[in-house]
Chain A
Amino acid sequence: MRAQHLQQTRPAWYDRSPLTIGLLYQDNGIPPHAQTQRVTYTAPANRKALLEASTTICLRLTAAAPVGLVRMSIAGTYDGATGAWQPAAIMLNNAVGADGGFSQSQQSILQPGNNVRGFTEDQSTGGTVQYIVTAKLTEYDN
Chain B
Amino acid sequence: MRQYNGPSARPLPVDRNLVAFGANIQLLATAPHAATQRQVYTAPANKKVIVWNLVADAIRATVAAPVGLMEMYWRMNATNAVNARIIELTQIDNTIGANRGVTAFNAFDLQATESASLVTADGSTGGTYNYNVAYTVGEYNA
**Which residues of A are interface residues toward B (Cβ below 8 A)?**
7-15, 18-24, 28, 50, 52-53, 55, 57, 59, 61, 96-97, 99, 102, 104-107, 109, 130, 132, 134-136, 138
Contact = CB atoms under 8 A, between A and B. Distances in A.
Contacts of B107: 52
When A and B form their complex, which 10 residue pairs have the shortest distance between CB atoms, in order from nearest? A22-B81, A22-B84, A97-B92, A52-B108, A7-B7, A20-B78, A134-B85, A136-B84, A12-B5, A22-B82
Contacts of B67: 97
A105 B85 contact: no
A8 B76 CA distance: 34
A134 B85 CA distance: 6
Interface of B: 1, 3-10, 12-13, 48, 67, 69, 76, 78, 80-93, 100, 102, 104-111, 114
Contact of A24 (B9, B10, B83, B90): B83
B92 A104 contact: no
Given A8-B7, A10-B9, A53-B104, A106 B1 contact: yes
A115 to B, nearest CB: 16
Given A13-B3, A23-B82, A106-B106, A57 B114 contact: no
A9 B84 contact: no
Contacts of A28: 69
A13 B5 contact: yes
Chain A contact residues, majority secondary structure: strand
A84 B104 CA distance: 21
Given A20-B76, A20-B80, A138-B108, 16 more contacts: A7-B6, A8-B5, A9-B7, A9-B8, A10-B5, A10-B8, A10-B9, A11-B8, A15-B10, A20-B110, A23-B84, A24-B84, A53-B105, A61-B92, A97-B92, A107-B106
A12 to B, nearest CB: 5
Contacts of B109: 14, 18, 20, 52, 138
A50 B107 CA distance: 11
